[in-house]
Structure 1
Amino acid sequence: MKFKTSKTLTFLAFAGLFISCKKESEKFPDGIEHVIVIGVDGLSPDGIQKSKSPIIHDMIANGSVKWNVRTVLTSSSSQNWASMISGAGPEQHGVINNDWELDDHSLPPIVQEADGRFPTIFSVLHREKPEVEIGTVYHWDGFGRLFQKSAVNYDKRFSTEDSTATDFIKYIKEKKPTLGFVHFDHVDHAGHHGGHGSPEYYQSVAKTDSLVGQILKGIKDAGIEENTLVIIWADHGGIGYGHGGATPQEAEIAGIFYGKDVKKGYKVEQQVYTYDLAATIAFALKLTPPYAWIGRPVKSVFEGFSEPENLYLGEKTVDQPVIYPERKLYQQAGGLYTTETATVKIDTKAEKGVTHYTTDGSDPKTSSPVYKVPFTVNKTTVVKAKSYDEKGNGSPLSTAYFRLVKPGLGNGLNTTFYQGKDLTKVPVFANLKKGSAWVSPEFNINRDQINGIVENDNFSFALQFSGFIQIDTPGKYIFSTQSDDGSKLFIDGKEVVNNDGNHGVQEQTGSVELTAGKHTIRVDYYNNGGGFWLDAFYKGPGLTKQLIPADKLFTK
C-alpha cells in the first residue's frame, strides 16, 4: 500500500510538471504589444475590391486577408459588433437585434459579468492585465452600449468619421494603448443612401482608405509601429440599399491583418467567423479566452503558424461568371425589355475556365452549350451560366432574368403609394390616406420615384400592387417574395405568401393550385425606413423559378 501511494504521487508530480511545461511552451506571436482594430460599419469585400483604396490594398499586399469572413445572422449591426468583441454569437451573448438594450432584452447572456454583459475582449484584457491602456472611439453611439465601461480607460463618441479619426489618432499618440478600437459608420450610411455598389458607396470606402492612412501614420508617429498589429474588420456587407438578410453580399466581410508578425501577401484558407476577431486579439496579446467564447484565433495569419491540421475545405469552387446586364442595386441581372430582342453577354471570371449556359430553365452542366459570343433572346427567358476550370471544378450558378413585353397589350400592375409613420407590419390600407397611383410593369420599386413622393424624407411608407396573372398551364405554383421590409402576396384574394415584419432582405414562399387563365394577384408591401426592396417570383409546371414576368401581368 505504501509503495502504491509513492508511485501515485510520483506520477501526479510528473503529470503536473508536464502540464506546466506544456503551458509555458505554448506558442504565441512574438513581440505584439499593441493591437489597433479599425472597424468599418457596412464595409463589404466588393467595396474594398472596386473602390480606390490604395492604402488598404497595400495592407493586403503586405499583410494577410480573408475575403469571406462569415457574419452572424441576422447581418445587422448590433449583433455583429457584439459578436466581434465578445468572441461568441448571439446565442451566447444575447444581443439578437438592433433593439437590444442592457435593461431591455429577451435573451440573457449565457454568462455575465457584474454589469450584466457577456465577457468582451475589453473586460478579458482588463481582468488579466489591469495596468494596460484600453480605449474605444466610435462614430455610432450604439457601439458604446455593447461593452463594459469599467474595462476601458478611454471611451469617446463623435458625430462624424473625421472627428472620430482625429480623436482616435490623438489618443494613440498620447496613450499608446495596448488595445485601441475605432468604429466608423459613414460607409453604412452611404450603403443605405446611395446603395451598395453605387458611386457614393465606393467613394465612402475611398474615404475610409484615407482615414486608415491617417491612423497608420498616427501609429508610426507614436513610435509603436514596430510592435503593433492592425486589423480591419466589419459587421456586415449589403445589397441594394440595405442589409440584414442571408446572402453572401450581406453576410460576408473581409478581415485584414497587417503589421507585427503578420505574413505578407497571405490569403487565409481556414473558415473565419466574425466572432473570431476577439479570439485573435486575445491570442496576439497572450490572453486566456473565457470558456464561454466560441471564437477561434486566426493563427495562420502569423509568421510561424500554419493552417489548422484538421482543416477541411470541401469541394473547390471557382469564380462564377457574370451575365450582363449584371445585377445593380435592386435590379436583378437581365432586365425588362419592350423591344423585340435582348442581347445576352457572359463574362467568364474563372482562370482558364469555360462557361456553359442554358436558356430552358435547367442548371448548366459540362454537356450544356459553351458560351463563346453574345446571343439574343426574343421572349422572356431565364439564362443560367456556370463555369468550370481545367480540373472540372465548378463555380456557383449565375442567373439572369430577361423579361420581354410588347407595349399596348394591357400589361402592368395598378400601384398605389401610402405614406406611413413608424410602420412595423403590412398595414390595413383602408386606414391610410391614398397617395400617388401609377402602373408598374412588375413587382418592384423605383427608388427615384419613391424619393420624389415621400413626405419630409419619411421613408416609412406602403405600396399596394394589384392586377391579374396569366397562367398557361394548370397545376401547383410556388410563389415567393423577397422584401425589405414586409410583404404579403395574394392570389384570388387568398394569402399565399406571408413575408411580414421588419427585416432585411429575406424570402418567404407559399404554394397554390391554379387553373389555366387569369387570376387576380396582389402584393401588399411596406417599408419601416431606410433601405427597401421588393421582388416577386414564381415557379410551376414547366417553369423554372423566375421573377414573375411582365408579359404575364395585366391591369385588367
Structure 2
Amino acid sequence: MKPIKLRPFAVLALAGISIFACKKSDQRFPEGIEHVVVIGVDGLSPDGIKKASTPVLDSMVANGVVKWNVRTVLTSSSSQNWASMIMGAGPEQHGIINNDWEMDDHTLPPVVQEPDGRFPTIFSLIRKNKPDAEIGTSYHWGGFGRLFQKNAVNHDKHFSTEDSTASDFISYIKTKKPTFAFMHLDHVDHAGHHDGHGTPAYYKSVSKADSLIGKVLEGIKEAGIEESTLVIITADHGGIGYGHGGATPQEAEIAMILYGKDVKKGYELKQQVYTYDLAATIAFAFNLTPPYAWIGRAIKPAFEGFDEPENLYLGQETIAQPVIYPDKKLYAQAGGLYINEKPSVKMSTPVSGGQIRYTTDGSEPDSSSAIYSNPFSLDRTTVIKARSFDGSGNESLVTTAYFRVLKETNGHGLTTTFYEGNELKEIPDYGKLKKGQSWVSQEVGTNTEQISSLFKNGNSSFALKFEGFIQIDKEGEYLFSTSSDDGSMLYIDGQKVVDNNGNHGVMEETGTIKLTAGKHAIRVEFYNNGGGFWLDAFYKGPGIAKQLIPADKLFLK
C-alpha cells in the first residue's frame, strides 16, 4: 500500500483542527456548583454595608469575594438594573430604559427576544439547558416579577414585606433545593426614600437585610446543599439624599459579594465589574454558553484557579476623598450658610498617611495646591475644593464645600410663597392653586422641617415660588442650574433660563444667559408631586466658580 501524501494546505488544515481542539479543551469552569442562590437587596449601597451592623455580610466578605464599586447601568434606577442583572446586557440591548417599562407599553424593543417578547434572561437560559431544573424566585418588589419569563420558573411568589419574602424563600430552598433561586428584598430602598440614605433608619434597614441573609444561609445549610451552593449578594443601585437615578458614585456604584462553593476566600476583585456581569457569572458557574446578545462577562477571578484578566488595565488608583466639615447630609451640600459669623473650615482624610491639598478659589486642587494642616476661618463666601494624595502619587476625586457668608440680613433674601398641590406632574398654574404662607428665604432651597409642617392631612404635594433680585457684579455670560426633586424652573428678568420640569428624582439642568452688571429680577418655581423633595440653585460666571447662589447676592428689592 502506498503511503498517503498530504498537500501543504491539508497539513495546515489538520494543524488548525488540532489547535482548535486544544483551545476548546482548555476552556475551564468551576467544578461542583450545583446550586446558585442570588439575594438582591434594592438600594443597598457599599456605604450601608460598611457603616451598618452587618455581621453576616462582613463574614461573607472575609470568607468570600467582594467588589465594592460595581458600576450600574444608567439611569441608576431599579427596573433597568434588575433587568440588566438577569439579562446579561444593558438597556440598549434589552430595551428596559426606565421604571415605567411594561411588556405592553414601551418604546424600545429588545435586540432579540424570547417568544414572550422579553430579552433572554438567566432564567430562560438555565431552563433551556436544564429542562428539569428547579428554578424559582420570591420577591418583595412586584416590579421584579415583570422582568423574567414566567414559563422558565417553577416558583414565582410576590410578598408585601421583607419578612414574608424571606420566609417563603427559605421554605422554598429547604423543600425544593432549587438549581437556581433569586430573592429580592425592597425594604432598604424604602428606608432610603423615606428617611434618607446614610441616616440611622437606613442603616437599621441594612442590618435587617443582613439578618435575613443570615437566615437564608442557615436555610441553605439545613437543606443540605451548602457544600455545593454559590451565593451572590447584589443590589440595583445606591442612593443619595432621599433618592437615586443620577450619575454619581453614591447612586451608580454597588457592592457584589460572592460566597460559597469554589469561591476564593478573603479576596477583593480587581477586574472592573458591571451589574450585567451577574448573569454571565451564573452561566459560567453552571458551564453554560451565554446568548451572543449578552454583553456581560463572567467574573472568573472570583473562583479558585482563575486569575485576573491578562489584559486588565487598572489605570491610576483612585483613593478615598477627604471630608470637609460640616459634611454633606442627605442632599445638603458640604459647608453651609453662616449669618453674622465666620465659618471655620476643618478637613480630614481617611487615607492612612494621606495628605490633603485644597483651593479657595473654586479651581481644581493638584499636587502644587496648598496643604491642609489646621482649621482656618473664612470672612466671605468661598468655594473650598480638596483632594487626598498618598505617598505613591495616587489621588482622590475632588470634595467640594460651599461656605456662604452673610454679614447682615437687612434687605437680603427672596420672598417665598407656599401653595397647596394635588398630585402635581409639572410646574403648575399658580393662579389655580390655594395660596398659603409667605416668608423670606435667605437662599433658594427647601427647609424640609418647615415645609412639612405646612402639609394638611398628609398631603405632600405642593409648590413654591421664590421671587426677588440677584446682584451681578460683572457683565458677561452666566450659567444657572437647578437641582431638584421634583420639577423646577429658573427665570431671570422674566426669561426662562433653566427648565427642570417634570416628575423625577434629584436631577440637575442648566441654562445660560448674558447679563449686565447690576440687579436683575430672579424667580424660581418649584413643585413636589409627593414624598421626598429637594431644591438647590447654582450659578457660574466671569471669575465666579460654580456655586450655590450666595445669600449675599440675593435681595428682596
TM over 0.5: yes
- Equivalent residue, structure 2, for 1:41: 42
Maintained 8 Å contact 1:246/1:506: no
Secondary structure class of the residue paired with 1:454: coil
Q: Deviations over 1:7-54 (max 9, x none)?
A: 766765664454345334411111111111110001111111111111
- Per mean C-alpha deviation after superposition, the further-off stretch among 287-296 and 379-388 is 379-388
- Equivalent residue, structure 1, for 2:54: 53
State how 1:369-408 maps to structure 2 within 5 Å.
369-408=370-409
State how 1:439-454 maps to structure 2 within 5 Å.
439-454=440-455
Structure 1 residue identity aligned to 2:141: W
Secondary structure class of the residue paired with 1:335: strand
State how 1:9-408 maps to structure 2 within 5 Å.
12=13, 15-16=16-17, 18-408=19-409
State how 1:390-469 maps to structure 2 within 5 Å.
390-469=391-470
Relative to structure 1, the CA distance from residue 9 to residue 176 in structure 2 (aligned partners, 3 Å threshold; closer, same or farther) is: farther
Q: Following the alignment from structure 1 to structure 2, what is the Cα–Cα distance between the partners of residues 398 and 93?
A: 36
Secondary structure class of the residue paired with 1:490: strand
Q: Following the alignment from structure 1 to structure 2, what is the Cα–Cα distance between the partners of residues 366 and 10?
A: 61
Structure 1 residue identity aligned to 2:30: P
- Equivalent residue, structure 2, for 1:538: 539
Q: Following the alignment from structure 2 to structure 1, what is the Cα–Cα distance between the partners of residues 337 and 90?
A: 41
Deviation at 1:257, TM superposition (A): 0.9
Q: Following the alignment from structure 1 to structure 2, what is the Cα–Cα distance between the partners of residues 56 and 546?
A: 39
Q: Following the alignment from structure 1 to structure 2, what is the Cα–Cα distance between the partners of residues 68 and 243?
A: 16
Secondary structure class of the residue paired with 1:306: coil
Deviation at 1:481, TM superposition (A): 1.2
Q: Deviations over 1:470-528 (max 9, x none)?
A: 11222221111112222111111101111222332222211111122211111112223
Q: Following the alignment from structure 1 to structure 2, what is the Cα–Cα distance between the partners of residues 419 and 147?
A: 41
Secondary structure class of the residue paired with 2:453: helix
Structure 2 residue identity aligned to 1:50: K
Q: Following the alignment from structure 2 to structure 1, what is the Cα–Cα distance between the partners of residues 352 and 40?
A: 32
Q: Following the alignment from structure 1 to structure 2, what is the Cα–Cα distance between the partners of residues 419 and 85?
A: 42
Q: Following the alignment from structure 2 to structure 1, what is the Cα–Cα distance between the partners of residues 296 and 313?
A: 18
Q: Following the alignment from structure 1 to structure 2, what is the Cα–Cα distance between the partners of residues 76 and 428?
A: 30
Structure 1 residue identity aligned to 2:210: D
Q: Following the alignment from structure 2 to structure 1, what is the Cα–Cα distance between the partners of residues 310 and 332?
A: 43
Q: Following the alignment from structure 2 to structure 1, what is the Cα–Cα distance between the partners of residues 213 and 75?
A: 28
Deviation at 1:544, TM superposition (A): 0.8
Q: Deviations over 1:152-193 (max 9, x none)?
A: 010001100001011100001011111110000000000000
Secondary structure class of the residue paired with 1:142: helix
Deviation at 1:399, TM superposition (A): 0.8
Secondary structure class of the residue paired with 1:116: coil
Maintained 8 Å contact 1:323/1:333: yes
CA RMSD in angstroms comes to: 1.7
TM-score normalized by the length of structure 2: 0.96
Maintained 8 Å contact 1:338/1:406: yes
Q: Following the alignment from structure 1 to structure 2, what is the Cα–Cα distance between the partners of residues 235 and 459?
A: 27
Maintained 8 Å contact 1:482/1:536: yes
Q: Following the alignment from structure 1 to structure 2, what is the Cα–Cα distance between the partners of residues 424 and 19?
A: 60
- Per mean C-alpha deviation after superposition, the further-off stretch among 382-391 and 413-422 is 413-422
Q: Following the alignment from structure 1 to structure 2, what is the Cα–Cα distance between the partners of residues 175 and 12?
A: 50
Secondary structure class of the residue paired with 2:58: helix
Q: Following the alignment from structure 2 to structure 1, what is the Cα–Cα distance between the partners of residues 460 and 275?
A: 31
Q: Following the alignment from structure 2 to structure 1, what is the Cα–Cα distance between the partners of residues 331 and 340?
A: 22
Maintained 8 Å contact 1:245/1:503: no
Deviation at 1:373, TM superposition (A): 1.2
Q: Following the alignment from structure 1 to structure 2, what is the Cα–Cα distance between the partners of residues 127 and 521?
A: 62
Q: Deviations over 1:217-255 (max 9, x none)?
A: 111111111111111111111111111111111111111
Q: Following the alignment from structure 1 to structure 2, what is the Cα–Cα distance between the partners of residues 392 and 14?
A: 50
- Equivalent residue, structure 2, for 1:510: 511
Structure 2 residue identity aligned to 1:136: T
Secondary structure class of the residue paired with 1:453: coil
Maintained 8 Å contact 1:226/1:260: yes
Structure 2 residue identity aligned to 1:65: V
Maintained 8 Å contact 1:240/1:531: no
Q: Following the alignment from structure 2 to structure 1, what is the Cα–Cα distance between the partners of residues 430 and 282?
A: 52
Q: Following the alignment from structure 2 to structure 1, what is the Cα–Cα distance between the partners of residues 45 and 76?
A: 12
TM-score normalized by the length of structure 1: 0.96
- Per mean C-alpha deviation after superposition, the further-off stretch among 383-392 and 227-236 is 383-392
- Equivalent residue, structure 2, for 1:547: 548
Deviation at 1:310, TM superposition (A): 1.1
Maintained 8 Å contact 1:241/1:530: no
Maintained 8 Å contact 1:44/1:254: yes
Q: Following the alignment from structure 2 to structure 1, what is the Cα–Cα distance between the partners of residues 456 and 152?
A: 44
Secondary structure class of the residue paired with 1:520: strand
Maintained 8 Å contact 1:242/1:530: no
Structure 2 residue identity aligned to 1:462: A
Structure 2 residue identity aligned to 1:214: K
- Identity of paired residues, percent? 68
Secondary structure class of the residue paired with 1:56: helix
Q: Following the alignment from structure 2 to structure 1, what is the Cα–Cα distance between the partners of residues 504 and 192?
A: 16
Deviation at 1:459, TM superposition (A): 3.2
Aligned residues: 554
Q: Following the alignment from structure 2 to structure 1, what is the Cα–Cα distance between the partners of residues 258 and 417?
A: 50
Q: Following the alignment from structure 1 to structure 2, what is the Cα–Cα distance between the partners of residues 17 and 222?
A: 45
Maintained 8 Å contact 1:242/1:532: no
Maintained 8 Å contact 1:64/1:301: yes
Secondary structure class of the residue paired with 1:320: coil
Relative to structure 1, the CA distance from residue 456 to residue 121 in structure 2 (aligned partners, 3 Å threshold; closer, same or farther) is: farther
Q: Following the alignment from structure 2 to structure 1, what is the Cα–Cα distance between the partners of residues 172 and 138?
A: 9
Structure 2 residue identity aligned to 1:223: G
Q: Following the alignment from structure 2 to structure 1, what is the Cα–Cα distance between the partners of residues 484 and 6?
A: 71
Deviation at 1:119, TM superposition (A): 0.2
Relative to structure 1, the CA distance from residue 514 to residue 244 in structure 2 (aligned partners, 3 Å threshold; closer, same or farther) is: same
* Unpaired runs of at least 5, structure 2: none
Q: Following the alignment from structure 2 to structure 1, what is the Cα–Cα distance between the partners of residues 470 and 163?
A: 52
Q: Following the alignment from structure 2 to structure 1, what is the Cα–Cα distance between the partners of residues 430 and 61?
A: 52
- Per mean C-alpha deviation after superposition, the further-off stretch among 290-299 and 5-14 is 5-14
Deviation at 1:351, TM superposition (A): 2.5
Secondary structure class of the residue paired with 2:126: helix
Maintained 8 Å contact 1:426/1:524: yes
Secondary structure class of the residue paired with 2:514: strand
- Per mean C-alpha deviation after superposition, the further-off stretch among 414-423 and 49-58 is 414-423
Relative to structure 1, the CA distance from residue 369 to residue 410 in structure 2 (aligned partners, 3 Å threshold; closer, same or farther) is: same
